[in-house]
Amino acid sequence: MPRVKTHLVTWDEVVDWSRNLARLVRESGFRPDLVVAVSRGGFVPARLVCDFLGVENLASIQSQHWTEAAKAGERAILKYPYRLDASGLNVLVVDDIVDTGETLRLARDYVRDNWGPREVKTAALQWISPVAKYRPDYYYLEVKEWVWFQYPWTRLEDTYQFIKRMMSEAYRETGRREWGFSEVVEGFREWYGIDVGEAYYREALRVLVEKGVVDYDAARDRYVLRV
Ligand code: AMP
């Protein structure tokens, strides 16, 4: 059993889900003049929704809640607030997933209260219904059991944070500090139940060395957790 329930999302799934999300918007009769991507997770879905709806106007705002993979921050904050004149426009605010709902709700409120649009609606590829305090106007998939979705746009970030967590836990539980490359890969698969592929494990370990989280012992080809 993996320690963190994780689902690997493929690029093909992202395109398929975005196409279906756009279809739901179209079928509802809502015609957005402007799409707003909630940065950073909403960028790719928002761009695809623009493509599928034929919308040329795409802006973005950064609303952030989750500071680290599978760990929520205290509350969502709007990182770079700015004014945009959206008077008379129908606006669709798009994110990848609604978990607690803080991120998308904050973005929606900000656009509604500061940009002067005619109407604002929200859309997400996924909505985690049992935990979300906010339900987007449109969602393609209802998630009934909490899972961390490993999207292609956070693959490296998630991988190095997950490896760091795995190594730190192992050290706490057994005092183990040293890992060979294949042990990292096996451990990762066991812990998270997914496989992100060799290139991502290598990149993630490079990042962890760069960040001073692990040292690479080239002579012994081992990664050593700094404690
Ligand atoms: P929230 O404010 O809790 O609704 O969190 C929404 C943002 O955090 C999304 O834009 C995602 O980028 C990220 N996020 C939250 N929960 C998950 C999850 N279960 N899987 C993947 N990303 C998530």
Domain-embedded: residue 29 = yes
Helices of type H across the chain? 11-28, 43-53, 102-114, 155-174, 181-192, 198-210
Same domain membership, residue 88 and residue 160: no
CA 215 to centroid of chain Cα atoms: 28
Asked if residue 158 has its Cβ within 6 Å of ligand 1, the reply is no
pLDDT at position 3 over 90: no
Asked if residue 65 has its Cβ within 6 Å of ligand 1, the reply is yes
Q: Please answer whether residues 26 and 2 qualify as being in contact, where contact means their C-beta atoms are separated by less than 8 angstroms.
A: no
Give one DSSP letter per residue of 42-78, joined into a string: THHHHHHHHHHHT--EEEEEEEEEEEETTEEEEEEEE
Q: What is the CATH number of the domain that holds 121?
A: 3.40.50.2020
Same domain membership, residue 203 and residue 188: yes
Same domain membership, residue 156 and residue 141: no
Domain-embedded: residue 3 = no
Average pLDDT over residues 172-195: 97
Average pLDDT over residues 19-23: 98
Average pLDDT over residues 148-177: 97
> What is the residue whose two structure tokens read 């398929």?
16
Same domain membership, residue 124 and residue 26: yes
Domain-embedded: residue 1 = no
Same domain membership, residue 216 and residue 129: no
Same domain membership, residue 123 and residue 160: no
Domain-embedded: residue 65 = yes
Q: The domain containing residue 184 runs over which residues?
A: 152-225
Residue nearest (by alpha carbon) to ligand 1 atom 18: 148
pLDDT at position 71 over 80: no
Same domain membership, residue 166 and residue 100: no
Same domain membership, residue 201 and residue 89: no
**CA distance linking residue 117 with residue 115, whole number of Å:** 6
pLDDT at position 37 over 80: yes
Same domain membership, residue 92 and residue 66: yes
* Residue where one domain finishes, among candidates 127, 145, 163: 145
Q: What is the CATH number of the domain that holds 194?
A: 1.10.10.10
Asked if residue 148 has its Cβ within 6 Å of ligand 1, the reply is yes
Average pLDDT, the chain: 95
* Residue where one domain finishes, among candidates 93, 119, 145: 145
User: What is the total count of domains within the chain?
Assistant: 2
* Residue where one domain finishes, among candidates 101, 119, 145: 145
Ligand 1 atom nearest to 38, measured from its CA: 10
Q: What percent of the chain has pLDDT over 90?
A: 92
Asked if residue 32 has its Cβ within 6 Å of ligand 1, the reply is no
**CA distance linking residue 215 with residue 222, whole number of Å:** 8
**CA distance linking residue 197 with residue 222, whole number of Å:** 19
Residue nearest (by alpha carbon) to ligand 1 atom 19: 148
Give residue 44 CA to ligand 1 midpoint distance, Å.
14
Residue 179: beta bridge partners? 223
Q: What is the pLDDT of residue 126?
A: 98
Same domain membership, residue 99 and residue 39: yes
Asked if residue 41 has its Cβ within 6 Å of ligand 1, the reply is yes
Of the candidates 129, 134, 132, 195, the residue with the CA atom closest to the CA atom of residue 121: 134
CA 64 to centroid of chain Cα atoms: 10
Give residue 160 CA to ligand 1 midpoint distance, Å.
18
Residue nearest (by alpha carbon) to ligand 1 atom 15: 99
Same domain membership, residue 188 and residue 122: no
Same domain membership, residue 207 and residue 171: yes
Domain-embedded: residue 5 = no
Domain-embedded: residue 172 = yes
**CA 72, 73, 79 angle in degrees (round to 5)?**
120
Domain-embedded: residue 2 = no
Torsion, Cα of 122, 38, 115, 139 (10° steps): 0
Give residue 182 CA to ligand 1 midpoint distance, Å.
30
